[in-house]
A and B are shown apart, each in its own frame.
Chain A
Amino acid sequence: MTRKKRRLYAVIAGLATLGIAAALVLNAFEDNLVFFFSPTELAARELAPGQVIRVGGLVEEDSVERLDDGLTVTFKVTDTAKTLPIRFTGVLPDLFREGQGIVAEGTLGPDGVFVARDVLAKHDETYMPPEVADALKEAGHWEGDEP
Chain B
Amino acid sequence: MASSLHRFANPNRFMRLSGAVLPWAAVITAILFPIGLYLALFASPPDYQQGETVRIMYVHVPAAWMALFVYTTMAVASAVALIWRHPVADIAARAASPLGAGFTFIALATGALWGQPMWGTWWVWDARLTSVLILFFLYLGHMALFDAFDDPTKGARAAAILALVGAVNVPIIHYSVEWWNTLHQPASILRDGGPSIAASMLWPLFIMAFAFKAYFVTFLLVRMRSDITAAKLRALRRTQVEGAGMSAATPAAAEADRA
Q: For the complex, is A22 an interface residue (Cβ under 8 Å from B)?
A: yes
In the docked arrangement, what's the CA distance between A120 and B124, Å? Answer: 10
- Which of B45-53, B224-232, B249-257 lies at the binding interface? B45-53
- Tell whether, in the assembled complex, residue A122 and residue B119 are in contact, meaning their CB atoms are under 8 Å apart: yes
In the docked arrangement, what's the CA distance between A38 and B181, Å? Answer: 9
Majority secondary structure, A binding face: mixed
B39 → chain A closest CB, angstroms: 14
- Tell whether, in the assembled complex, residue A121 and residue B120 are in contact, meaning their CB atoms are under 8 Å apart: yes
Which residues of chain A are within 8 angstroms of B185 by Cβ–Cβ distance? 122-125
In the docked arrangement, what's the CA distance between A125 and B189, Å? Answer: 9
- Tell whether, in the assembled complex, residue B54 and residue A127 are in contact, meaning their CB atoms are under 8 Å apart: yes
Q: Residue on A with the closest CB to B48? A: A133
- Tell whether, in the assembled complex, residue B83 and residue A123 are in contact, meaning their CB atoms are under 8 Å apart: no
In the docked arrangement, what's the CA distance between A51 and B196, Å? Answer: 37
- The answer to whether residues A19 and B188 also contact, given A8-B83, A127-B57, A129-B46 and a CB cut-off of 8 A, is no
Which B residues between 26 and 74 are near A, CB-CB below 8 angstroms?
45-50, 54, 57
B38 → chain A closest CB, angstroms: 17
Which residues of chain B are within 8 angstroms of A19 by Cβ–Cβ distance? 168
Which residues of chain B are within 8 angstroms of A47 by Cβ–Cβ distance? none
- Tell whether, in the assembled complex, residue B83 and residue A126 are in contact, meaning their CB atoms are under 8 Å apart: no
Q: For the complex, is B87 an interface residue (Cβ under 8 Å from A)?
A: no
In the docked arrangement, what's the CA distance between A30 and B200, Å? Answer: 38
- Tell whether, in the assembled complex, residue A129 and residue B187 are in contact, meaning their CB atoms are under 8 Å apart: no
Interface size on A, residues (CB 8 A): 40
- The answer to whether residues A126 and B196 also contact, given A7-B82, A26-B172, A34-B180 and a CB cut-off of 8 A, is yes
- The answer to whether residues A93 and B181 also contact, given A7-B83, A127-B198 and a CB cut-off of 8 A, is no
- Tell whether, in the assembled complex, residue A125 and residue B187 are in contact, meaning their CB atoms are under 8 Å apart: yes
A75 → chain B closest CB, angstroms: 15
Q: For the complex, is A28 an interface residue (Cβ under 8 Å from B)?
A: no
Q: For the complex, is B222 an interface residue (Cβ under 8 Å from A)?
A: no
Q: For the complex, is B133 an interface residue (Cβ under 8 Å from A)?
A: no
Q: For the complex, is B248 an interface residue (Cβ under 8 Å from A)?
A: no
Q: For the complex, is A138 an interface residue (Cβ under 8 Å from B)?
A: no
- Tell whether, in the assembled complex, residue A18 and residue B79 are in contact, meaning their CB atoms are under 8 Å apart: no
The chain B residues found within 8 Å of chain A, CB to CB, are 2, 45-50, 54, 57, 79, 82-84, 117-121, 124-127, 164-165, 167-168, 172, 179-183, 185-188, 191, 196-198, 200-201
